[in-house]
Chains A and B, each alone.
Chain A
Amino acid sequence: MTELYDRIEEAAAAVRARWPGTPHAALVLGTGLGGVADAIAVEAAFDFEELPHFPVPTALSHHGRLLCGRLAGLSIVATRGRAHVYEGYPPWQVVFPVRVMRALGAELLVVSQAVGGLDPRYRPGDPMIVEDHINLMGVNPLIGPNDERLGPRFPDMSRPYDPELVDVALAVARREDFVAHVGVTVAVAGPNLETRAEYRLLRWIGADVVGMSTVPETLAAVHGGMRVFGVSVVTDMCLPDALEPADAEVIVRVAEAAAPKLEALVLGVLRHEAGRAGA
């Protein structure tokens, strides 16, 4: 197999062949951000199958597309549909789209995910702006020989999520008059949901929400020198002492209902970036 760096360049070249832009931001549009995808003025679109080394996601409601175009006054690239660790993809491939979007020039990563709420003050449908994370996946996409062209051997993680953008998003929520939390997400491999005892443990170690994605992408982005904005939508509450069975249909409905809030936060952050970049 070719080196990771060459694989990234190969995929980036396939994108550049049809789209000559330099994106400012890269968006990984998970649950709740489908509407953002619709708001993009798409200039080029690719199925993951068309791009070398891209993962072909299997998860329900996630079909893999790479969209290139403009959004909120910025040149952007975005992925719809992502590969998860629980699907069996090797960690390098889970974060491969982020690597390619970085190679295309993106300096900001925006990620979203559906999460379970551990902080009892949260309610289903609330967005949580990610302030920090705990990686309990048992895997790390940076394990293996390090290629200095992609980033340093030991990337600093003292501030993986840009504090300025956390404030920008909070200001958006206040202006639009909805509740948005700021908290810590813990990433687990899944795919089974957690037991009550596990939720109790996750809360005790300091997590406010629990999810099965985002953290690998953040690790790769910080490694590559990107700033990160992460937002989660609480789709159900994971309260160990009042736990109800998870209902996939309800989770999807809650995520859809919360979508306008997530969109407002992401678009607000992108507009702030556009203002900063003077674009």
Chain B
Amino acid sequence: MEGLAERVAQAATAVRARWPKRPRLAVVLGSGLGGVADSLALDAELPYGEVPHLPRPTALSHRGRLLCGRLADLPAVVFQGRLHLYEGYALAEATLPVRLARALGAEVLILANAAGGLDPRYRVGDIVVLDDHIHCMVANPLTGWNDGRLGPRFPDMSAPYDRALAAVALAAGHRGGLRIWSGVYAAVSGPAYETRAERRMLRRLGADLVGMSTVPEAIVAAHAGLRTLALSVVTNRALPDAPERDDAAEVVLAAGAAAQSVRRILLDVAAELAREEEGE
């Protein structure tokens, strides 16, 4: 089998054959958030099956399409459908969309996910801009031989989420009258929801949110030198001392209901990036 860099290059070639532009921005949409892609002025649509090496998502409500077009007048690619560790993918495979985005020329990555709220102040439907993360998945997408062409052996994690972009997202949320927070996301493998004891542990470790994605992508993005913004929609309250049954269908519904909030922030951030570009 070819190395990772070669597989990424082949995937990028296949995308360019359909859409020759260089994206400025890449977006990965998680559970129930596929509708956010409506904001894109679409030029081309590629099912993951048409992009070499891109695995097909098996998860609930993840469609598996790469959309290419313009977002607030900025060339952008949107990955509608995320790949997770719990589906059985190795993390290097699951994070291939991030590598692909980088190979196509993107400089900014926006990750959106559905997460459980550990901070008791969070309500279902709130948006949290990730300030930091705690990686509790055990597996790491960078384990193995490091290809220096893709990134450094020991990537810095002092600020995996771009502070300027986070500030733009928070301001956009406030402007729109949204309930929006800045918080720390703990990534677990799943697929079982956390027990009460596990949630108590995660809260104690310093997490405000818990989810089964995003962090592997953020690690790869930091490795690849992308500026990352991550947004969580609180789709269920993960409160150990007032437990509610977790229901995946309700999570997807809650995410869908918050898609409008995510869309608004996404467009504001894209507009800000477009202004940055003009100013350059």
A residues contacting B by CB (< 8 A) are 132-135, 138-140, 142-146, 152-160, 184, 186, 204-207, 219, 222-223
A204 to B87, CA, bound (A): 31
A159 to B86, CA, bound (A): 21
> Taking chain B's interface residues, is the majority helix, strand, or loop, or is none over half, making it mixed?
loop
In-complex Cβ contact of B88 among A143, A204, A207 (8 A):
A143
A184 to B58, CA, bound (A): 33
Chain A CB within 8 A of B191 CB: yes
A205 to B200, CA, bound (A): 8
Sample 8 A-B pairs with CB under 8 A, ordered by A number: A143-B190, A145-B87, A146-B191, A154-B60, A155-B192, A157-B192, A157-B194, A205-B201
Which A residues lie within 8 Å of B60 (CB)? Answer: 153-154
Known A140-B190, A145-B87, A206-B197; further 10 A-B contacts with Cβ < 8 A: A132-B197, A133-B195, A142-B190, A142-B192, A144-B87, A146-B191, A154-B192, A206-B201, A207-B197, A219-B192
Taking a contact as CB atoms under 8 Å apart, the answer to whether A135 and B190 are in contact is no
Chain A CB within 8 A of B135 CB: no
Taking a contact as CB atoms under 8 Å apart, the answer to whether B205 and A205 are in contact is yes
User: Which B residues from 191 to 218 make CB contacts under 8 A with A?
Assistant: 191-198, 200-201, 204-205
Q: Residue of A at shortest CB range from B246?
A: A156
Which A residues lie within 8 Å of B251 (CB)? Answer: 154
Chain A CB within 8 A of B247 CB: yes
Taking a contact as CB atoms under 8 Å apart, the answer to whether B195 and A134 are in contact is yes
Most A-side CB within 10 Å, residue of B59, B87, B198, B204 = B198
A205 to B193, CA, bound (A): 18
Which B residues lie within 8 Å of A158 (CB)? Answer: 193, 195-196, 243-246
A186 to B198, CA, bound (A): 9
Chain A CB within 8 A of B248 CB: yes
Q: Residue of A at shortest CB range from B31?
A: A154
Which A residues lie within 8 Å of B87 (CB)? Answer: 143-145
Q: Residue of B at shortest CB range from A220?
A: B192
Taking a contact as CB atoms under 8 Å apart, the answer to whether A222 and B196 are in contact is no
Chain A CB within 8 A of B1 CB: no
In-complex Cβ contact of A135 among B86, B198, B204, B245 (8 A):
B198
